[in-house]
Chains A and B, each alone.
Chain A
């Protein structure tokens, strides 16, 4: 076994490598986003104002946006602003993009956190049950049902939930916005249907990975040994199987972050909830390129940070990385 300081060194090196890769991804992402928002449209102002706009107005807008400058200058202006916290100014709202994104991000985080709190335990339970009942009806229902529901678009699930629980049964409000100053519980009640839509979207994937992890550790030698030692089934599952099967689950939960944010675009639009997804949608609808461009980059940063956090958690829990010695 490695000495403690070497252990920390191994985790540090692992994370440093991940951090480096994330930085490269972020740089490439910024180039791609810039390319999509400022190069693909050809003439940005023309794209915003439409084919019938006056040429002078187009030129004036291009000058205002800086899109008449050489591409390298444009990219440098944007990215140096982003690095100092200046994300540009929204065309549609006339306010700094960072103001809009700050509130929206917080709202989305609230919704996503609520969904995660529900889906993670549910999906882990579902996956473990499916693994224990492998190839029987319960297993098929959980895996096929879960995965089928995750492939149904969020707006379809959302609308079906609104119809059934919002309108026909009248249990939950159909808009996600609680009245100003309502209690935490009332807010949760308003957020329940949108969060449930996310839960349905994510359940299948997480449950599937948990199931695979559980089956793998059920088949492993250490589980056989534990059973042969005469330990009760319950103890073996809790102490030997679950601990090992939850590792891949952590990894998959983080890879679902991007998927979750994509889902938010539709869910927030559907439930009229002022989060990051609806902000991006509004920006796209109004051809608000500065907001769109910086918004997409911020989403990329959020996803990368979530992935890094998951990596950190994973490396702290995984003995194979924790005890890895210097190469």
Chain B
């Protein structure tokens, strides 16, 4: 396991056969990537929310938790640009501070899923045979049920907590990613460099993690960015459904659920702004994911 964690996707890993060529190709790809408009726009959006997550309470004009019952459900105005919610709390401040929870949980779940999924996919694709068959049958069985329903079942069984949410999303993602990685490994395992490593009598873990893994990083990176957006999707949805980890902190999905009943009374601001926050964050991540996958396709 440690061997794999040492391999940061960002560090250049020389492909043994022709290191210079590979490095030039990679530099060219990164140069094109950081110039692509979708990548820039996506990073601006996500960067904005990361700043909100890190410095939330410092930027927010009001205390996001301070009740002010006399000024509840006030429409957007100078003092409260996004209005106030059902307890008189400032919606703008809650939107800003609400970025934190989801921007901590989603990457953790995605990293867990990517690390475990890559390991499972490598083992299944490299060893083939019975191991592969058993793993793929379990993968198929889990994929039959939508993630949200699997998560509901797990949260009900274990009780909502941060650990439960990260574990459930991470495990389901690992299964999806395992499928992608396995397919990539099947394409690599018959290639000369793998055969050569086998003839050198290298041990299987070395061949999997040090030889094959660096060559299948592109689909793994693409999966990671795409899954990150989906982790935010899932966490926001669970919070909206009332299965968030911590009901006491500002959370976009939960705030929307609590104010949904008021929209028929034309109190639109308490749901519209958190909705736009979620939409912009997932679209931002998706733009990055799209640019990254395009850059590998070239």
Chain A interface residues (CB < 8 Å from chain B): 21, 24-26, 28-29, 32-33, 36-37, 40-41, 47, 143-144, 147-148, 151-157, 159-160, 162-163, 167, 174, 258-259, 261-263, 265-266, 269-270, 280-281, 284-285, 287, 289, 292, 296, 299-300, 303-304
- Scoring A32, A37, A261, A262 by chain B CB atoms within 10 A of each residue's CB, the highest score goes to A262
Complex partner residue of A28 from B137, B150, B156, B157, CB under 8 angstroms: B137
**Residues in chain B near residue A266, CB distance under 8 A:** 148, 237, 240-241
Contact B158 A29 (CB under 8 A): no
Q: Tell me if B268 is interfacial: C-beta within 8 Å of chain A.
A: yes
Closest 3 A/B residue pairs (Cβ): A262-B146, A28-B141, A40-B157
- CB-CB under 8 A from B111, the residues of chain A are none
Please tell me if B155 contacts chain A, counting CB pairs below 8 Å.
yes
A163-B272, A269-B241, A285-B242 known; 8 other A-B pairs, CB under 8 Å?
Answer: A36-B157, A41-B158, A144-B287, A152-B279, A153-B236, A155-B253, A160-B272, A160-B279
* 5 A-B residue pairings within 8 Å (CB atoms): A21-B137, A160-B275, A163-B263, A266-B237, A299-B149
The verdict on A300 contacting B237 (CB below 8 Å), with A47-B157, A148-B283, A156-B278 known, is no
Describe B's contact surface by its main secondary structure: helix
**Given the complex of chains A and B, what is the CA–CA distance between A280 and B275 in angstroms?**
24
**B146/A151 in contact, CB under 8 A:** no
Knowing A152-B283, A155-B256, A163-B263, the reply to whether A262 touches B140 (Cβ < 8 A) is no
**Secondary structure call for the A interface:** helix
B50 within 8 A of A: no
Asked whether A281 lies within 8 Å of B152 as measured between CB atoms, the reply is yes
Q: Are A304 and B144 in contact (CB under 8 A)?
A: yes
Q: A40-B157, A155-B240 are in contact. Are A163 and B268 (CB under 8 A)?
A: yes
Interface residues, chain B, with chain A CB atoms under 8 Å away: 38, 137-138, 140-150, 152-159, 229-230, 233, 236-237, 240-243, 253, 256, 260, 263-264, 266, 268, 271-272, 275, 278-279, 282-283, 285-287, 290
Residues on the B chain within 8 Å of A155, using CB:
236-237, 240, 253, 256
Is B263's CB under 8 angstroms from A167's CB? yes
**Quick check: A153 and B240 within 8 Å, CB to CB?**
yes
**Which of A155, A156, A284, A296 gathers the greatest number of chain B CB atoms within 10 Å?**
A156
**Residues of chain A contacted by B230 (CB below 8 angstroms):** 151
Assess the B145–A284 pair: CB atoms within 8 A.
no
Which interface residue of A32, A152, A163, A263 has the most chain B CB atoms within 10 A? A152
- Minimum CB–CB distance from B131 to chain A (whole Å) comes to 16
CB contact under 8 A between A151 and B149, given known A21-B140, A40-B154: no
A40 to chain B, nearest CB (A): 4
Once bound together, how far apart are the Cα atoms of A281 and B156, in whole Å? 10
Q: B148 — which chain A residues lie within 8 A by C-beta?
A: 262, 265-266
Q: Does A296 contact B256, Cβ atoms closer than 8 Å?
A: no
Question: Complex: how many Å from CA A269 to CA B148?
Answer: 13
**Chain B hits for A29, CB < 8 A:** 141-142, 144-145
A62 to B145, CA, bound (A): 27
- B265 CB, nearest partner CB in chain A, Å: 10
Whole-angstrom distance from the CB of A212 to the nearest CB of chain B?
A: 11
Q: How far is the CB of B120 from chain A (nearest CB, A)?
A: 15
Most buried by A among B146, B154, B159, B290: B146
Contact of A147 among B256, B260, B278, B286 (CB under 8 A): B286
Give the distance in Å from the alpha carbon of A289 to the alpha carbon of B242 in the complex.
Answer: 18
* B142 CB contact (under 8 Å) in A32, A163, A285, A287: A32
CA of A160 to CA of B264 in the docked complex: distance in angstroms?
13
Q: Please indicate the chain B residues that have their CB under 8 angstroms from the CB of A280 in the complex.
A: 149, 152
- Contact B149–A261 (Cβ < 8 Å): yes
Q: Are B153 and A167 neighbours in the complex by a CB distance under 8 Å?
A: no
- Within the complex, what minimum Cβ distance (angstroms) separates B222 from chain A? 13
Q: Indicate if the CB atoms of A152 and B152 lie closer than 8 Å.
A: no
A37-B153, A151-B229, A300-B145 known; A265 vs B241 contact (CB < 8 Å): yes
